[in-house]
Amino acid sequence: MMEFVFWASFALLFYIYFGYPLAVKALAMLKPTPIAANDDYLPKVSILIAAYNEAKDIEATLRNKLALDYPPEKLEVLVISDESEDGTDRIVEEVAAAADIPIRLFRQIPRQGKTAGLNTLVPKANGDILLFSDANSQWDTQAVRKLCRNFADPQVGYVTGKMVYVHADGSMVGDGCSAYMRYENWLRDQETRIGSIVGVDGGIDAMRKELYQPLGADQLPDFVQPLKVVDEGYRVVYEPEALLKEEALSDGGSEFSMRVRVSLRALWALKDMKHLMNPAGDPIFAWQLISHKLLRYAAFAPMVTLALAAIYLAPVKGFYALAATGYALFLYLAWSGHKKEKEGQALSTLYALPYYFMLLNLASLQAFVAFSKGEKKVIWNPRKG
């Protein structure tokens, strides 16, 4: 029985992290679905930014948007301040006064969170394409052009760009996080080739305004809105040349808290859109959503059963003793990475990857516990570097 638990757990983990990506790659090679992109397609766009106490970053973010290589007569920026108290509103107004494109400020009182803020902004937007930026997002100057060229294809309803982490000090979490994002971006590229992706970067996204659906304040727009686009019969695709540069969090505690929050809201989103996991609808996308999201968030479970089975079987056969030793070594490297990070040391990939892998799965575990208790996250605080 324990041998079955060991091999079933191992097979599930292998499928989650390697089997599913390889299967998507094979399907993309056998039956690709190209995008009819056009670099000359330049629709009218609105950039939407929700901000809460972002005085530290909002000016740089707005000036970044003013420097975009896009026809200014087709571009506007809308900012909603979620009852900010640190001078964010004043900074937005000062930048807007001297800007050569429209920058409009709205204020949300009482504080209700990002999703409610976006619901307020969308009806006020004049663009045919909505672009979503975080209050600290730095886009490449060509980002809007690269995103919008995909909308020349009438089947494309939502486009996400590529987030790249930048870190001057080579911090451990940054290294591990960058490796994780390289893995995720490769997988998104393969998923795009077969139809739609199942995960996006909320700091550099775009969608057709006509497809936007108001969401509940507790729903995660970066997750639910793309799923609703798929539900409407449109594609959600990845544009690797639309770049978002974001500074990696400088400590594991901040990264862990952020991952718990995102994972919790994603679990609620999966519950809200659970009908998309029914293979009777779109069997390919249902398979993607279950494999890439549901099983990924639940990967901590086979990790635990694999460890317990290996420990139980170690005295029986040398192979299982070797497996238990390897598992223990992996945990040691992760723990060492945690300790070194706490001491402010920059770590090599040898420590960074185990640490970040465990951080993600422990965050998912905590999110599952919170989800089982019915907890929800609606409002947010500025990300600390």
Query: Does the pLDDT of residue 74 top 60, yes or no?
Result: yes
Q: Residue 382: which pLDDT band, with cuts at 50, 70 and 90? A: low
Residue-level pLDDT at 378: 65
Mean pLDDT of 280-286: 94
Residue-level pLDDT at 201: 75
Per-residue tokens: 237? 């695709």
b/e 214-226 (16+ beta carbons within 10 angstroms → b): ebeebbbbbbbbb
Q: Residue 40: which pLDDT band, with cuts at 50, 70 and 90? A: very high
CA 173, CA 349: separation in Å to the nearest integer?
Answer: 10
Residue-level pLDDT at 302: 97
Best mean pLDDT range from 141-150, 156-165, 213-222: 141-150
Q: Which residue has the higher pLDDT, 202 or 19?
A: 19
CA 162, CA 181: separation in Å to the nearest integer?
Answer: 9
Q: Residue 174: which pLDDT band, with cuts at 50, 70 and 90? A: very low
Q: Among 160-169, 187-196, 328-337, where is mean pLDDT lowest?
A: 160-169
> What pTM did the predictor assign?
0.89
Q: Among 101-110, 153-162, 226-235, 247-256, where is mean pLDDT lowest?
A: 247-256
Residue-level pLDDT at 169: 46
CA 167, CA 175: separation in Å to the nearest integer?
Answer: 9
Residue-level pLDDT at 141: 95
Alpha helices in 170-289 (DSSP H): 172-194, 221-231, 252-272, 283-288
Best mean pLDDT range from 259-273, 321-335, 364-378: 321-335
Question: 82 and 379 in contact (C-beta within 8 Å)?
Answer: yes
Give the pLDDT confidence of 90-112 residue by residue, as tens digits.
999 999 999 999 999 999 999 88
Q: Which residue has the higher pLDDT, 381 or 373?
A: 373
Reported as type and span, the H/E element at residue 106 is: strand 103-107
Residue-level pLDDT at 274: 93
Give the pLDDT confidence of 243-252 residue by residue, as tens digits.
998 766 555 6
Give the pLDDT confidence of 1-14 residue by residue, as tens digits.
899 999 999 999 99
Residue-level pLDDT at 262: 86
Residue-level pLDDT at 265: 86
Q: Which of 93, 88, 90 is nearest to 77 (CA)?
A: 93
Mean pLDDT of 142-155: 97
Residue-level pLDDT at 170: 39
Residue-level pLDDT at 379: 63
CA 360, CA 339: separation in Å to the nearest integer?
Answer: 17
Question: 173 and 156 in contact (C-beta within 8 Å)?
Answer: no
Per-residue tokens: 180? 């994780």
Q: Residue 284: which pLDDT band, with cuts at 50, 70 and 90? A: very high
Cα 44 to its chain centre, rounded Å, is 26
Q: What is the DSSP string of 320-381?
A: HHHHHHHHHHHHHHHHHHHHHHHTT----HHHHHHHHHHHHHHHHHHHHHHHHTT-------
Domains of the chain: 1-32+252-384 (no CATH), 45-248 (3.90.550.10)
CA-to-CA dists, residue 232 to 106, 193, 238, angstroms? 30, 19, 18
CA 2, CA 361: separation in Å to the nearest integer?
Answer: 23
Query: Does the pLDDT of residue 34 top 80, yes or no?
Result: yes
Which class for 352: exposed (0-12), middle (13-18), buried (19 or more C-beta within 10 A)? buried
CA-to-CA dists, residue 370 to 183, 340, 364, angstroms? 27, 29, 10
Q: Which of 290, 237, 289, 294 is nearest to 263 (CA)?
A: 294
Residue-level pLDDT at 127: 97
* Mean pLDDT of the chain, nearest integer: 90
Mean pLDDT of 353-361: 92
